[in-house]
């Protein structure tokens, strides 16, 4: 799933980033075009991911986390608990990097609907739903999505994502070798302090299930400068657990 997607570490100063879409279009493909569906994972299934972050001072931060499916609904939506069982935290350049324990509810296209931090009990609502394409998808398909995230009593933050399905590739990660859909996307938002975040993603999803097996993110910033360290690149890789 995609939490500021699915997926990225939550830091002390970087909000949920990558959690898209109201302008998505998914025309019915011609019969000869392969269509790829998203398959909800089974109840209690678990995947282990590693995340490597490089910050603006060239520090490398290594984290890991699990995603455990705690509920699967009849409509294909499901709930995932993302957490670091070891509660590791790394301080670099004034910023604490850690995986917060978060319950993430997603729809049947793996787009985030809501989150709740189980440590702080802060909940976030995503409207209409989070980033990523609406499945089924085909190679060559593109989308433009706009959504907001509202956490607790804080004002809503608007996000815009442009994306496309560019190819099917063979990708090898520690969990195995997969035929994977390659998605290229950009995501932009402005935080409450006036800092503008621009992210460029390359995401590989298992072609058979749609589950993320690898993600690379490059981050740039403008507007109000950040005062502490911040990530400039993230790589997330599936270590174990079948998609």
For range 206-232, the mean pLDDT:
97
Percent of the chain at pLDDT exceeding 90: 86
pLDDT at 78 over 80: yes
- What average pLDDT does the chain have? 90
172, 171, 164: which is closest to 201 by C-alpha?
A: 164
Torsion, Cα of 88, 11, 106, 6 (10° steps): -80
Question: Which pLDDT band, with edges at 50, 70 and 90, does 200 fall under?
Answer: very high
Cα angle at 241 between 172 and 37, to 5 degrees?
Answer: 75
pLDDT at 56 over 50: yes
pLDDT at 30 over 80: no
81, 49, 73, 78: which is closest to 63 by C-alpha?
A: 49
Alpha carbon distance 233, 214 (integer Å):
14
Give residue 58's pLDDT: 97
Sheet with strand 10-11: strands edge to edge:
10-11, 95-98, 89-92
Looking at domain 10-240, its CATH class is mainly beta
pLDDT at 85 over 90: yes
For range 92-115, the mean pLDDT:
97
Tens of pLDDT, residue by residue over 154-184, are 999 999 999 999 999 999 999 999 999 999 9
Percent of the chain at pLDDT exceeding 70: 87
Alpha carbon distance 44, 61 (integer Å):
29
Pinpoint the alpha helices (H) of 21-61: none
- Contact residues for 196 (Cβ-Cβ < 8 A; gap 6+): 188, 189, 190, 221, 222, 223
pTM recorded for the entire structure = 0.88
Q: Report CA Rg, the chain.
A: 17
Q: In the chain, what are the domain boundaries?
A: 10-240
Cis peptide before 36 (omega within 30 of 0): no
Give residue 33's pLDDT: 85
235, 191, 35, 4: which is closest to 100 by C-alpha?
A: 4
Give residue 175's pLDDT: 97
51 within 8 A of 66, measured Cβ to Cβ: no
Of 13-17, 19-23, 199-203, the range with the lowest mean pLDDT is 13-17
């Amino acid at each position: 799933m995609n939490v500021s997607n699915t997926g990225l570490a939550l830091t002390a100063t970087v909000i949920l980033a990558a959690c898209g879409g109201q302008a998505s279009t998914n025309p019915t493909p011609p019969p000869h075009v392969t269509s790829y569906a998203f398959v909800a994972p089974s109840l209690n299934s678990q995947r282990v991911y590693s995340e490597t972050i490089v910050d603006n001072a060239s520090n490398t931060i290594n984290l890991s986390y699990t995603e455990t499916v705690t509920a699967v609904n009849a409509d294909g939506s499901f709930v995932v608990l993302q957490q670091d069982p070891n509660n590791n935290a790394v301080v670099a350049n004034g910023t604490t990097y850690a995986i917060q324990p978060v319950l993430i509810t997603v729809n049947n296209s793996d787009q985030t609907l809501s989150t709740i931090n189980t440590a702080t009990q802060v909940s976030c609502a995503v409207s209409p739903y989070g980033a990523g394409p609406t499945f089924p998808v085909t190679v060559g398909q593109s989308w433009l999505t706009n959504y907001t995230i509202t956490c607790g009593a804080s004002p809503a933050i608007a996000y815009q994502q442009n994306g496309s399905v560019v190819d099917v590739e063979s990708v090898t990660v520690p969990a195995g070798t997969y035929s994977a859909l390659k998605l290229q996307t950009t995501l932009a938002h402005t935080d409450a302090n006036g800092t503008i975040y621009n992210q460029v993603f390359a995401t590989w999803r298992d072609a058979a299930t749609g589950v993320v097996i690898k993600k690379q993110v490059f981050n740039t910033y403008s507007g109000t400068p950040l005062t502490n360290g911040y990530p400039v690149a993230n790589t997330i890789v599936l270590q174990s657990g079948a998609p």
